[in-house]
Structure 1
Amino acid sequence: MEWSIQEIARTAGTTSRTLRHYGEVGLLRPSRVAANGYRYYDAHALVRLQRILLLRELGLGLPAIAEALDGDRGPADTAAALDAHLELLEQERRRIGRQIASVQTTLRKLREGEPLMADEVLDGFDHTRYEEEVTRRWGKAAYERGDRWWRSLSEAERRGFQRRQRDIADDFAAAHAAGESPDGVAAQEITRRQYEWISAGWQGREPSAEAFAGLGQMYVDDPRFTAHYDAHGEGTAEFVRDAMRVYADRNLA
């Protein structure tokens, strides 16, 4: 079974021009081009387009998407990648479900003149959406420590903490673009700041060498983190991972 480029564009909510561009850059080639020049796409191309759209929603640029898709070696790899996407979508659905319930509760109480509770109004809008993932990776105690610490900060302190991270990411990207080595002095100085920034949230229990290097690996393995770092410059996530691994071996082992 196959679909014309117009059918695919209409169903995906995109344009024929976008699909042609994907073909020109080698991201999504049509399965067949008719004698009249019309492009057609089969089921394999349809699945590939689904993955492209999912990765675009995560914020990845086209070069990063091409690299991710080129790593597939067959249906098993594609299925594994879609499993990971599905987990992310399920997490997002649960978060949005909490937001919907929160807004519904707020509307009902406003209309009925009932007092509002902060935890009801703001449910689904805070960092607790990461609770399941943090607990799975590092244990419930680690999440609870970080949660208590985050809630203890003022709004200004939270913005400052987030600004520090953006500055560090920008400096990593600049070092990578300048051709610095992950094990060089400049990169390792930025990584020291990264370690201090991460340690703040661990509340007196600084991450071990294994945990710190593991975080760096997660920046590459998890498309959400890759998108965050590569938004500062293509390849930044891998550069950060390598720098963190060197720092862990040199200073934390």
Structure 2
Amino acid sequence: MADVVSLHRQEPQGLVLRELSGRVLRLTLNNPPANVLSIALMQALMAELDEVAQSSDIRVVILAASGALFSAGHDLKELTGHRADGDKGRAFFDETLRLGADLMLKINRLSQPVIAEIDGLATAAGCQLVASCDLAICTDSSTFCTPGVNIGLFCSTPMVAVSRAAHRKQAMEMLLTGETIDASTAKDFGLVNRIVPKQYLQQVVNKYAAIIASKSPQALKIGKQAFYRQADMGIAEAYDYTVGVMVDNMLAPDAVEGMGAVIEKRTPEWKDE
């Protein structure tokens, strides 16, 4: 078993905890009690993801959270505090929401797969964060919502990720009602992949991460990028695009190695690229 290296970074204020185990990096939101996505936390998380993007050693990222809530979304106190600004907070609101959008896009564009590990409530931009990850595994007591409509603020930016993860009518149900859904409903909607008992959550997530980390990093990078690009295309365009992607993939060193290993009945050896 690979050694576990814990690096609890303190800038800024330990808002994101970092634990590297072999090829898998666990990033834990650490902004109690609600793990709100403040400017500082989002910047800290983006800095971590920037490092991941430059690493050939990390194959999978797990995004978890400390405490009883996964994330309550953007920091309403931080946002409201800028209503006294000369522009009534417009510039700060714009900065916060654009930073949030950049964070979600960074997860989407990262070569390495990102698995959300949820235990507790994921609401508003916290639900957006879950929906932005490639896979999501939660406890049976986890809950999800996009409640902006309840306070006169439609969850328009969370809508982007949620409407791409959940089925369209179910996404609209969440957005229009603002009601909280349980883990089983979230799975039916398409927000999460698996539901597990609390005591097995980390074990199951680690198993998924280890399985994915054992695959070709070249194939994972090519596949993740192609998945999201083709999803926005018409079916004919998607086939035309993915044929080209797969031809290029078949010429890549790991595909040469992998196909040869099948024929020779041996375990393939991947390049760290």
TM over 0.5: no
Q: Which is helix-richer, 1 or 2?
A: 1
Mark the structure with the bigger radius of gyration: 1
Structure 1-normalised TM-score? 0.22
Q: Which is strand-richer, 1 or 2?
A: 2
Structure 2-normalised TM-score? 0.21
